[in-house]
Amino acid sequence: MNRKLTKQEKDWLIKELKMLETGEYYGGGKWRKGETGELKPLGKPKDAAAYLKQIDELRVVYKCNCGDTDCHTIKFQYFEKGKCGAIVGSSIEDGRMIVIDVHRETNLLAGLEII
């Protein structure tokens, strides 16, 4: 597989990456600490520009084939197993979880998960 992003995939990335600048990029301040039940604080705001610039150049090289109709997990050309981690974790309008992964060494967008 080697294809461009769909409009929906681009829209998800843009909306969620813009959350980096608000501090709501990881749980939106809605995740609770398991031991106390307190809301986790918002993250430190980050600049989203470097990530947003990458979107038009991304290529989807893998799509999950788990069979779950709600799963929309894709990996981009910069994905390397064991070298990527979540930069955004939130939820979309229908309640599904969204995670955007980035390559830890290069800071290139590596994947999008919607589960």
Q: Tens digit of pLDDT for each residue in 49-84?
A: 999 999 999 999 999 999 988 889 999 999 999 999
Residue 26 has what DSSP assignment? B
Look at the chain and report how many structural domains it folds into: 1
pTM, whole model, 2 decimals?
A: 0.89
Closest alpha carbon to 88 in 111, 54, 65: 111
Residues spanned by the domain of 52: 3-114
Look at the alpha carbons of 98, 88, 51, 110 in this order and tell me if their dihedral is positive or negative. negative
Q: Tens digit of pLDDT for each residue in 10-40?
A: 999 999 999 999 888 887 667 777 788 888 7
Are 43 and 25 within 8 A, CB to CB?
Answer: yes
Residue 44 has what DSSP assignment? P
